[in-house]
A and B are shown apart, each in its own frame.
Chain A
Amino acid sequence: MGLKEKILTKSLWVFHASIGSCNNCDIEILDCITPRFDIERFGIQLIGSIRHADAILVTGSLNRKALKRFKKVYAQAPKPCFVIAVGTCPCSRHMFKDSYNTVAALDEVIPVDVYIPGCPPKPEAMITGIVKLIDKINRR
């Protein structure tokens, strides 16, 4: 485990991208920042521009219209950029699997590093997921 990874794990800036979600995971992500969970104490910050992102939190089943845009957004992220699938929707497309407007699973489109299932996952689960991501970065 190099110094670079150590630094990266201590200051993970996340960008939130919703690609056709029901808002639940999005609120729970925001919940993570709020007083009860406060992920800022781990150095995790929610940022506005993809250019500053170290990780992308993806929520929602991949919508046909969002797909193209999301791929562009991912291509614009500085590397290394991790992808965290938050909620069952990006993990498995959930109950929207048969819909005409959800075309592909998330990991068919971009590489996903961590899956956090749940509808919605609790903030605790999200924090665990991010910790797992940190473990994963550290192990490499």
Chain B
Amino acid sequence: MIKDEVKNALKETIKEWETKSPKRIYLTIDKKHLLQTAKLFFSDLSMRLSTITGIDNEQNFELIYHFSCDKSGEIFNIRVFLEKNNPEIDSLTKLFRASDWVEREINEMLGVRFIGHPNLTHLLLDNDWPKDSYPLRKDYTNE
């Protein structure tokens, strides 16, 4: 079972483990373990990164890395919390290219900095989009 493999491999790094639906598994880890976890998922368990969801919570930012396991049809969601003032996290571009555009998008939409991303520029928004204005943050207002 892939679930057990994940549990065995990660052990202490998992802060929280919940199975919301049979095939939707949410696990919370600390952001410093992200690279290691992603590596485990991609290289050892040959999952693929479906996408990354960035959420602006009240006190912090929340990133959910949706890893999809095509053998069992499960989605492993790695939940990482970032502090509000200085949202920074390791980029996964070193491991696979799939995270390239997603990270760029989250960067411009939420203002999360991805350390080690080669080209953290605007993807969807115009280049003259005002600085420090992030549309997906909850405090963003039109005009």
Count of chain B residues with Cβ under 8 Å from any Cβ of A? Answer: 7
Whether B142 contacts A65 by the Cβ 8 Å rule is: no
In the bound complex, CA of A101 to CA of B109 (Å): 12
In the bound complex, CA of A98 to CA of B143 (Å): 11
In the bound complex, CA of A101 to CA of B134 (Å): 12
A108 to chain B, nearest CB (A): 15
Q: Mark B100-137, 1 if CB is under 8 A from A, else 0.
A: 00000000000000000000000011100100000100
Residue numbers in A under 8 Å from B142 (CB-CB): 98, 100
Given known contacts A98-B142, A100-B140, A65 and B126 CB-to-CB distance under 8 angstroms? yes
A64 contacts chain B at the CB level, 8 A cutoff: yes
Residue numbers in A under 8 Å from B126 (CB-CB): 64-65, 68
A101-115 residues with Cβ-Cβ distance < 8 A to B are 101
In the bound complex, CA of A18 to CA of B142 (Å): 24
* Residue on B nearest A64 in the bound complex, by CB: B126
In the bound complex, CA of A101 to CA of B142 (Å): 9
Residue numbers in B under 8 Å from A68 (CB-CB): 126
* Residue on B nearest A99 in the bound complex, by CB: B142
B86 to chain A, nearest CB (A): 24
The interface centre, meaning the residue of B124, B126, B140 with most chain A CB atoms within 10 A of its CB, is: B126
A75-114 residues with Cβ-Cβ distance < 8 A to B are 98, 100-101
* Residue on B nearest A66 in the bound complex, by CB: B126
Residue numbers in B under 8 Å from A100 (CB-CB): 135, 140, 142
In the bound complex, CA of A65 to CA of B122 (Å): 11
Residue numbers in A under 8 Å from B135 (CB-CB): 100-101
A96 to chain B, nearest CB (A): 12
Can you list 13 residue pairs at the A/B interface with Cβ under 8 Å?
Answer: A64-B125, A64-B126, A64-B129, A65-B124, A65-B125, A65-B126, A68-B126, A98-B142, A100-B135, A100-B140, A100-B142, A101-B125, A101-B135
- Which residue numbers of A lie inside 8 Å of B, CB to CB? 64-65, 68, 98, 100-101
| Nearest 8 pairs of A and B residues by beta carbon | A65-B126, A100-B135, A100-B142, A64-B126, A98-B142, A65-B125, A101-B125, A100-B140
